[in-house]
Amino acid sequence: MILGVNVDHVATVREARGESEPDPVIAAKMAIDGGADGITVHLREDRRHINDRDLLRVKKNVRNVELNLEMAATKEMVMIALKVKPDLVTLVPEKRAELTTEGGLDLVKSGKKIRKAIDEIQSRNIPVSLFINPTIKDVQMSKKLGAAMIEIHTGLYANAKGKRQTAELARVRKAVKSGSEMGLLVNAGHGLKYSNVKKIASIKGIRGLYIGHSIVANSVYRGMKSAVKEMKRLIRQSQK
């Protein structure tokens, strides 16, 4: 099972100050040093975190692992994907006001647009993955639309507790099974954390997990001590 690390929120911190750091490309390289099998960036319409330059730099600097471009199925994004040629495109729904992707694609409402994007991108040998809710209907629709892959939305599982979580886990499991049986490559992601990843990672048939926020958050904790130590060292040194 591969791990794709989403570095969007490194860019979110950078954008909060309008500075050049932290740099998502440096973070991506470090993630690869840590064993990441892939790097994901979501180029949003409003460029609120990752921007076009980041994407080009990630493409140039991130080698030998999967570059997954998350994007909406719009004309603009399809053009960018065909130009940048990532290893994988994951189509996601996108609403301007949302804090993060809120749910899977609406394959009925947006079916035509999604099929067109799949056809255009896959005709250039770039596989397309559809981010979908864990329902058999959406898995079937994804197959019908011609996607090579699906990513099962684990957000409801991640946010649920107790019996509700067990039920959500069963839905994910069923969706994974039916996707595999239909010959789709099946990924999963959203809301996965150190505390809830194990049950998803133990599902047979998942090709890869795509995780962002929790890894970025944890890397702040893990790095804080040494970052402060280094600053103290410089201050002490200059007072001698």
Interface residues toward ligand PXP, by CB under 6 A: 6, 8, 42, 70, 90, 92, 100-101, 131, 151, 189-192, 210-214
Q: With respect to ligand PXP, which residue has the nearer C-beta, 104 or 225?
A: 104
Q: Among 42, 94, 151, 168, which one carries the catalytic annotation?
A: 42
How many Cβ atoms sit within 10 Å of the Cβ of residue 47?
Answer: 14
Characterize the bridge pairing of strands 66-71 and 38-42: parallel
Q: Among 9, 49, 70, 151, which one carries the catalytic annotation?
A: 70
Q: Using CB positions, name the residue nearest to ligand PXP.
A: 212
Residue 43 vs residues 47, 143, 148, 206, 231: alpha-carbon distances, Å: 6, 25, 21, 25, 33
Which residue has 């996965």 as its token pair? 192
153 vs 130: CA distance, rounded Å: 10
Q: With respect to ligand PXP, which residue has the nearer C-beta, 84 or 209?
A: 209
Q: Among 9, 49, 153, 190, which one carries the catalytic annotation?
A: 190
Q: With respect to ligand PXP, which residue has the nearer C-beta, 194 or 229?
A: 194
Which residue has 């010959």 as its token pair? 183
Active site residue 70: yes
Active site residue 230: no
Min dist. Cβ of residue 87 to ligand PXP (A):
15
Min dist. Cβ of residue 233 to ligand PXP (A):
33
Q: Which two tokens stand for residue 67?
A: 């570059």
Report the run of H or E that residue 97 belongs to, with start and end: none
Active site residue 9: no
99 vs 49: CA distance, rounded Å: 11
Min dist. Cβ of residue 210 to ligand PXP (A):
4
Min dist. Cβ of residue 131 to ligand PXP (A):
4
Characterize the bridge pairing of strands 66-71 and 88-91: parallel
User: Which are the catalytic amino acids?
Assistant: 42, 70, 190
